[in-house]
Homo-oligomer: A and B are copies of this chain.
């Protein structure tokens, strides 16, 4: 078997990898467990390591470590690449191929699988879900999201207290090009009625600069401070990213660079300064920390990430099937999930967005339905103490 990791790292992507490796060790028909370095790049360059030789201790240590232990890649393979990848898999007699990633990785897995079918070569192909964006179809939520959400919520807990101590307007830019789930998770930071984030903007709703400034003014008038959560991908009514005006860099998928720059936050801070009388306006961009911060991963997320890795191997060894492992939630008050095999094409290509019931009417906050959805997967958050604050009578 060959396994690889792709796309943006998460805090729990190695759980999926190790879940798969440990399950593979139980199956005699899998004689070698290879890991490709930097996703399909490692396949194309025949740059692979033998994961079967790693000790149990190393495997467990890597499982607990954030970011992609095998390295990652943002490469979208060409049809020629896919043909070449398939030829290399054949050369090494690879019969099981596992690719941990988002919708693009599912698509890559799908294409490689089609190549194998055309050639009548038995190759069981499984995609293992991973994305902090939480935008894979078929899934209630995706491994990596809840831990990223946990970082975002914890950050807002602290930052809200910071803003309460030194009042002003604070804008925090969160990852999420098309899906606002991660930004929405900022709402979990609220403990007291006046806690921020007071405003939340996601890419699922058009962003109007004038309305944004008016919203900030309104909150500021009420609380003398305002904490804002904004997705990096917010766009105007025409679908042009607000950040696009400030950056020309595009990634290998032809998308505008949104992460790894403070431009959008600074732009929004300047808008508030220009359109209001508020002087203390600050912006932070959470950047890559939200996907790779160590030691704070969600417990549910870690477990589920391991389970989807384990099940991909389990499904693939049970019969000649391909697919992806999807996380489903059982109805009912208590949080419970189950896992299902789904077809590769069901998670490839198109992604999903936040459902309407998760976004408020004004498009500047989330609903209780979102909180109910996100809370159990993110897990318990730190306790926040606050003085009752009995006023001293003025003399």
A positions within 8 Å CB-CB of B: 5, 8-9, 11, 14, 34-35, 38, 46, 48-51, 53-55, 58, 60-74, 91-92, 154-155, 157-159, 161-162, 164-166, 170, 259-263, 265-266, 269, 281-289, 291-296, 382-392, 394-395
**A259-B282, A284-B288, A288-B284 known; A385+B166 contact, CB < 8 A:** no
Give chain B residues whose Cβ lies under 8 Å from the Cβ of A295.
Answer: 154, 296, 382
- Which residue of chain B lies nearest to A61 when distances are taken between CB atoms in the complex? B385
> What 8 new A-B contacts, CB under 8 Å, besides A58-B388, A72-B165, A158-B294?
A9-B161, A49-B392, A65-B386, A71-B165, A260-B282, A262-B283, A282-B288, A284-B289
B64 in contact with A9 (CB, 8 Å): no
Give chain B residues whose Cβ lies under 8 Å from the Cβ of A260.
Answer: 170, 269, 281-284
- From B5, B286, B287, B395, contact of A91 by CB (8 A): B395
**A58-B388, A289-B286, A295-B154 known; A9+B50 contact, CB < 8 A:** no
Task: Report the copy number of this chain in the oligomer.
Answer: 2
Taking the nearest CB of chain B, how far is it from the CB of A244, in angstroms? 15
Give chain B residues whose Cβ lies under 8 Å from the Cβ of A161.
Answer: 9, 65-68, 292
A284 in contact with B285 (CB, 8 Å): yes
A64 in contact with B385 (CB, 8 Å): yes
| Interchain CA distance A149-B287 in the complex, whole Å | 18
Taking the nearest CB of chain B, how far is it from the CB of A274, in angstroms? 13
Give chain B residues whose Cβ lies under 8 Å from the Cβ of A382.
Answer: 64, 294-295
| Interchain CA distance A53-B292 in the complex, whole Å | 42
What 8 A-B pairs come out closest when comparing CB atoms? A262-B262, A260-B282, A61-B385, A284-B287, A67-B161, A158-B292, A62-B385, A48-B392
Give chain B residues whose Cβ lies under 8 Å from the Cβ of A62.
Answer: 385-387
Taking the nearest CB of chain B, how far is it from the CB of A258, in angstroms? 11
**A164-B71, A392-B34 known; A387+B289 contact, CB < 8 A:** no
- From B63, B65, B69, B262, contact of A266 by CB (8 A): B262
- Which residue of chain B lies nearest to A73 when distances are taken between CB atoms in the complex? B166
| Interchain CA distance A388-B291 in the complex, whole Å | 24
| Interchain CA distance A288-B170 in the complex, whole Å | 10
Give chain B residues whose Cβ lies under 8 Å from the Cβ of A71.
Answer: 164-166
**A63-B385, A66-B161, A388-B54 known; A262+B265 contact, CB < 8 A:** yes
| Interchain CA distance A60-B386 in the complex, whole Å | 10
Taking the nearest CB of chain B, how far is it from the CB of A67, in angstroms? 3
- Which residue of chain B lies nearest to A260 when distances are taken between CB atoms in the complex? B282
- Which residue of chain B lies nearest to A88 when distances are taken between CB atoms in the complex? B395
| Interchain CA distance A281-B91 in the complex, whole Å | 36
Taking the nearest CB of chain B, how far is it from the CB of A270, in angstroms? 10
Give chain B residues whose Cβ lies under 8 Å from the Cβ of A395.
Answer: 46, 91-92
| Interchain CA distance A158-B151 in the complex, whole Å | 12
Taking the nearest CB of chain B, how far is it from the CB of A266, in angstroms? 6
| Interchain CA distance A263-B266 in the complex, whole Å | 8
Taking the nearest CB of chain B, how far is it from the CB of A371, in angstroms? 19
A65 in contact with B285 (CB, 8 Å): no
Most buried by B among A63, A67, A72: A67
A261 in contact with B283 (CB, 8 Å): yes
- From B54, B63, B67, B385, contact of A60 by CB (8 A): B385
Give chain B residues whose Cβ lies under 8 Å from the Cβ of A294.
Answer: 154, 157-158, 382, 384
In the assembled complex, 20 residue pairs joining A and B whose CB atoms fall closer than 8 Å, in A order, are A11-B158, A49-B389, A50-B391, A53-B388, A54-B387, A55-B388, A58-B385, A58-B388, A65-B386, A66-B162, A67-B158, A71-B166, A154-B295, A158-B289, A159-B292, A161-B292, A261-B262, A262-B263, A262-B265, A262-B266
